[in-house]
Amino acid sequence: MTQYSKRMVIVHWLTLALLIAAWYFGDSLAEATDESKATLAGYIVHIAVGGTVLLLTLAQLFFRRKDGTPPLLYDKPIYQVVAKNVHYLLYTLLFLLPVSGITIILNSKVGAALLAGDANLLPKEHGFKDVFSHEVHEQLVNVLIVLAVVHILGAIKHQFIMKDGLMSRMSLRKKD
Ligand code: HEM
Ligand code: HEM
């Protein structure tokens, strides 16, 4: 095995696209809340995109178990350990981030507003002040960004400095 399976490649890139969308919608939502202008649609879109990230991550972990992963590419042992642990941490965050989002819904007025279909019930400025999971959600986003940057720098190093074809392992093009 020299490459990731097709379905793992598709889920990897789809997760990246949805993660950027969830980040954008989450930020817009936080801004709208600060101006007391958040809408139910804004929440529904963010929840749908973030929830899909959770489903894709669970699918990816299942595919990983079934299809396996290509062996680590030759690198200094320390970088191999870093890469492997960054992957595990990324999976952990891709799971915990949406779960913390669900916890915000359950522990704030958002759940009641969505059930009643009434945007007036949504939290206004400082409305999440006492919701601990909101703070957790916000901080997990920051940790995820830092880890994703480390991960991307690793991919760039392999592609342009080591030139060892690592990127083609996460590509749909068949390696010869
Ligand atoms: C992996 C996917 C997700 C990402 C990248 C993400 C990202 C974000 C970001 C960047 C914010 C703004 C934080 C701030 O500055 O205050 C936010 C807020 C929020 N997210 Fe998520 N989120 C994700 C998944 C979810 C899910 C699945 C739910 C719920 C089921 C959710 C519920 C919320 C709620 C309720 C807020 C508060 C909005 C506000 O402050 O008005 N998120 N999210
Ligand atoms: C431009 C952005 C990205 C690039 C170029 C990229 C590239 C890659 C490459 C080349 C691999 C295969 C590594 C190997 O063969 O050992 C990989 C694996 C992985 N990527 Fe990314 N990636 C990006 C963004 C992301 C993001 C944002 C996440 C998650 C938040 C992510 C999560 C993962 C995970 C968890 C694996 C490990 C797969 C496994 O072995 O189970 N990637 N990535």
pLDDT of 76 reads 84
Q: Whose CA is nearest to atom 32 of ligand 1?
A: 101
Whether 75 has a pLDDT exceeding 90, the answer reads: no
| pLDDT mean over 13-17 | 98
pLDDT digits (tens, 9 = 90+) for 87-126: 999 999 999 999 999 999 999 999 999 999 999 999 999 9
Whether 80 has a pLDDT exceeding 70, the answer reads: yes
Specify whether the CB–CB gap between 121 and 109 falls below 8 A: yes
Whether 24 has a pLDDT exceeding 90, the answer reads: yes
Residue 174 counted as domain residue: no
Domain count, the chain: 1
Residue 1 counted as domain residue: no
- 76 lies in which domain range? 6-169
Q: Whose CA is nearest to atom 38 of ligand 1?
A: 30
Whether 173 has a pLDDT exceeding 90, the answer reads: no
State which ligand 2 atom lies nearest to the alpha carbon of 147.
30
